[in-house]
Structure 1
Amino acid sequence: MTAAAFADHLRRDRLRSAHTVRAYTATAHRLIAFLGEHRGEAVDGAMLGTVQPGDLRAFLARRRSEGLTNASAARELSAVRTFLGFVVGDDAPLPRIQAPRVKRGVPRPIAPADARSLAEDAADAHDVPWLAARDLAVLLLLYGAGLRVGEAMALDAGALPLGETITVTGKGRKQRVVPLLPVVRDAIVRYSELCPWPLGKGQALFRGAKGGPLDSAIVRRAVRAARVRLGLPEKTTPHALRHSFATHLLGRGADLRQLQELLGHASLSSTQIYTAVDAAHLMDVYRAAHPRA
């Protein structure tokens, strides 16, 4: 059982994202190297089946000494459990230790005007019209439809011509239908008219400068540069646009079940964080506006 086989399992059987595959595989390599040193013996499938809670506590202690935060340590432990489950079988008992306690942060929404300014500034940074139209369309889509950046990158050009909704493939290849605001639809149509590359079924809707599928790293880089130019907070990221979509919908009366469906959350508990976001946003408004706040 190698780390490479584990990576294949994550990709093929667990349908994990490329980012998760890289992170979990790196953890598997670190665990194998640590156990070889800690136990002083060769690490194979049989040996991994004998890992004890004390071994995992020692591994996490080593990682914490290297500067891991509670949140990162909790993710590392999750990756370790997944790897050991793959090696010894999900039905076999796994060593159990308490995960580090993680304080769940509340995402901060971006004001609607700032979201629009961010998209427009990112577009204005391009001298090539179709690239400007592309970045405007992508960022308006993230904010206007609540997509994850990876979901936007995975959209198929077969969705053209657009209607009032678009089908999105989310985590675990689960599909959902989300409505398209006219301003978002118009931006995508404008981009598709200017794009010099063929946009047919089975091809990526959003393209890079050389015609390949657009890389999410390019979107993040464009947002980072626009954020600096506009003086927006560091937490203004592509994913923050999705947070803002959810927060603003909740503030306008959407219920949690509706929001869960639009965001593609498997569990309602993932959506409930936005009730805290909305309350935090209201407090910000109160403090800014009330003379005695």
Structure 2
Amino acid sequence: MSAPAPVPPAQDAGEIERVLFEIKQVIVGQDRMLERMVVGLLAKGHLLIEGVPGVAKTLAVETLASTVGASFARLQFTPDLVPADIVGTRVYRQGKDAFDTELGPIFANFVLTDEINRAPAKVQSALLEVMAEQQVSIGGKTYPMPRPFLVMATQNPIESEGVYPLPEAQRDRFLMKILVDYPTPAEEREIVYRMGVSPPTAATVIQAADLVRLQDTASKVFVHHALVDYVVRVVVATRHPTEHGLPDVAGWVSYGASPRASLGLIAAARALALIRGRDYVLPQDVLDIAADVL
């Protein structure tokens, strides 16, 4: 039996454009945030989103989940949260005289963790372990996460009391950090008109299986070896700015990027190239995504 014919990059880009178009029926503005969310989704990388309350972070993630026919869960992090509240636990059933496993809300395709910096370190570590391992062990049994699986964590930059800031080692687990700004006055007027009467809803335009195929396609986008060398040089320059002719940057860099940044840059650039309808990466793709990854 012959293998199915490969899908042209333009057709894949068309499917992605349909997803973005449907999201924009609900979300006004925030084009950069929406594109970066789709990049993270295609690159199988988790996202850290930082912005003040009310700039559509939660609504954007929920809308993205609905457009691809995927399950969605929202976790509101608080100081009294424990790991079992997220991943699940063993529960004793008195009538059955046995223990049952109750899986936590983390078992969804799209997981939004609101205000991740409000949860204690033990909960943050449990979440990051699930992100890295793509599975949860409860009572000696392993439960794999559904595919696709994407965690988007938000944090509020204006709160300083009662928070547990993410250590650098844990922030490094996220593919990108996305800074979300206020909408423009024109966009805010459109928000008032669009949301004031009957808020719009997004239709499902692709299925989760289609998204998994797009993820696999993105991972195979061609990257020239010279571009790989360029990415590695950029990442190495963050570790020793002065040695690479960047003395002005040295004062702004506390620690250089890890090898995970090189992998993340390549994966994100591949996803961005696919969104733009190409099956190969250009240097401009790396430049456009580098600030969010690094």
Does TM, scored on the shorter chain, surpass 0.5? no
If the length of structure 1 is used for normalisation, what is the TM-score? 0.24
Which is strand-richer, 1 or 2?
Answer: 2
Higher relative contact order (CA 8 A, sep 6+): 2
Which is helix-richer, 1 or 2?
Answer: 1
